A = this chain, B = another copy of it.
Amino acid sequence: MREVAILGIGQTPVNEHWESSLRDLGYQALQAALDDARVAAPQILIVGNMLSGALASQENLGALIADYAGHRGIEALKVEAACASGAAAVRLASMAVAGGAFDVAVALGVEKMTDGRAEQATAALAYASDAEYEAEQGLSFVALNALMMRRYMHEYGYQHSDFAGFAINSHHNASTNPYAMYPHEITLRQFENARSVAEPITMLDSSGIGDGAAAVVLVPLDLALQVATHPVIRIAASASATDSVALHDRRDPLFLQAAFDSSQRAFAQSGTRPEDIDFFELHDAFTIMSTLSLEACGFAPRGRGVTLAMEGHITRQGRLPICTLGGLKARGHPVGATGVYQIVEAVQQLRGTAGANQLPGARLGMTQNIGGSGANVITHILERTN
């Protein structure tokens, strides 16, 4: 198989995009990525999206966006893996290039969640859970995470305020990211006094609902090294694993087995270990998810993930910066697009174009996109090659 590089990146701001349709958002990110790569057109377009059917009565997004973006006729399709749909698109596009089927593949994540009422989005997000055994019993997605967070606090003896560092870090990093939906700092006092959503989860534990699109252009590494006008970022690892969709079906609801499996595979593929990783764009849909992701990937022992936030290790000055451009919490979480945003941001860091958020000398970045309450987890490791 060929090595694969990311030749171009593009993104829209995450926001309530009343002025742009779903296809228009997709076009903007796709075109930005093509421009960045200096490539005229993709040979294949893989769209990551979860909710266009439920919220826009629109499927067949591959053909729809390919045509709207001026590429009528190319191969195009949509991939869905709940909130991990974006990374799934990158993974498939990467596989298509690695295997030799295509030389220029675009993975595009796009989601438009704010056109309807917030309750519609909440109901549609529950499609990521087990409809028959969770959602139909009244469990929203926030409620599932609340169960996990309550259990974690009970098992390990933490207070709600111990999780504040995750949200404060993401908001701080978002404050200087022009693409972020919530670019403002928050304080510990605000975190402690935030309105409850599903106890113990508050507004400031939770990512919001937003619209956005992000895209990457993937080509063989050899080609990228010849033509790139930016530092070349290679995909050192791409790995995916699943778990039960229903939380109650897992042996241990506080261990993200699929995050463990996919990160282990990614470390093995790239010949790296957790301590080699310069920064980690993780899936902070809720503060509890950050905690459990850090533990499952080997960055902290069981029951200790939250201490990385308490002790400041996750900030841009810490030993494992996370959510360096605001994460899901504060850059925003347009679900099917999020996995591609994470990869775009990792490329920004590795190229040295992250602006005020730049990590000095970052060479190895990891991203992890989580679908459902841990049912589908996709991990990428990216490396700067020159």
Binding site for B on A (CB under 8 A): 1, 21, 50-51, 53-54, 56-64, 66-67, 72-82, 88, 92, 95-96, 98-101, 123-124, 126-128, 130-132, 135-136, 240-245, 249, 257-258, 261, 371-372, 375-376
Contacts and interface: CB of A to CB of B under 8 A. Distances in A.
Nearest to A80: B78
Contacts of A53: 51, 53-54, 124, 127
B74 A242 contact: yes
A361 to B, nearest CB: 32
20 contacts: A1-B100, A53-B53, A53-B54, A53-B124, A56-B131, A59-B127, A60-B375, A63-B81, A63-B82, A63-B375, A64-B130, A72-B242, A73-B261, A74-B241, A74-B242, A75-B241, A75-B242, A77-B79, A77-B240, A95-B96
Contact of A82 (B60, B95, B101, B243): B60
B57 A50 contact: no
Copies, count: 2
Nearest to A78: B80
A214 to B, nearest CB: 18
A333 to B, nearest CB: 16
A110 to B, nearest CB: 13
Nearest to A128: B60
A52 B121 CA distance: 16
Given A74-B242, A88-B77, A241-B75, A60 B376 contact: yes
Given A59-B128, A77-B79, 4 more contacts: A1-B99, A61-B80, A63-B376, A75-B241
Given A72-B244, A243-B67, A60 B1 contact: no
Contacts of A51: 53
- Chain B CB within 10 Å — which of A74, A99, A136, A257 has the most? A99
A99 B96 CA distance: 7
